Amino acid sequence: MFNIILFGPPGSGKGTQSERLIAKYGMKHLATGDLLRSEIAGQTPLGMAAKSFMDKGQLVPDEVVIEMISAALDNNPKANGFLFDGFPRTTAQAEALDKLLIQKNTEISLVLALQVSKDELIRRLLNRGLTSGRTDDINEEIISARIEEYERKTAAVAEYYKKFGKVTYIKGEGTIDTIFEALCNAIEAKKVA
């Protein structure tokens, strides 16, 4: 099983590149942002609790997202690999994911970390906010709060996986095609290693 984490700040291209990666490699895509938005759309208790955090640009509590990922792993016993998008976002989530994967006799193979400047992140998210209808893309204040949450709580996740030699950094600025090619090259290099 080949399991990938696509890592990076909000707006770095995780969702965009994930779509292409799953089309090419056939992994099961697990995106916590998408799962949370579908809970909100269904007006479930979990969705309603998550919405109050997401609308302020804050991370949803660890126990909520860990439970959601645990259920998603159980619901996909035949997957030939997972692409984690937007998860883990804290060191506690990373430790929990490692434990869940050990129970399934597998592990994270590679962490692909997209690097994008703060100005470009803000530009992209404000631009997406013009059409996405996403309440967390609406204004620069909320977008900046998300980037601060990333710096405060999420950046440490790359350090966690670096200890195990699993992180490859990818320049996340340029055309979507060029970035996709760099991601694929990193995956192929890891597969043959």
128 is catalytic: yes
Cα dihedral sign, 43-45-48-50: negative
Residue 51 sits in the site that holds ligand B4P (CB under 6 A): no
DSSP assigned state of 106: -
Query: CB count, 10 Å around CB of 62?
Result: 17
The answer to whether the beta carbons of residues 140 and 32 sit under 8 Å apart is: no
Computed over its alpha carbons, how large is the radius of gyration of the chain? 16
Tell me the residue number closest to ligand B4P, measured at CB.
33
Tokens 């292409």 correspond to: 20
Residue 115 sits in the site that holds ligand B4P (CB under 6 A): no
Determine which residue in the list 5, 30, 54, 186 makes contact with ligand B4P, applying CB under 6 A: 54
Residue 129 sits in the site that holds ligand B4P (CB under 6 A): no
- Residue 11, φ and ψ in degrees, nearest 5: 90, 5
Residue 89 sits in the site that holds ligand B4P (CB under 6 A): yes
Residue 166 sits in the site that holds ligand B4P (CB under 6 A): no
Q: Which of 28, 104, 134, 190 is catalytic?
A: 134
Q: Report the interface residues with ligand B4P, using CB under 6 A.
A: 10-16, 32-33, 36, 53-54, 58-60, 65, 86-87, 89, 93, 124-125, 128, 136, 146, 176, 179
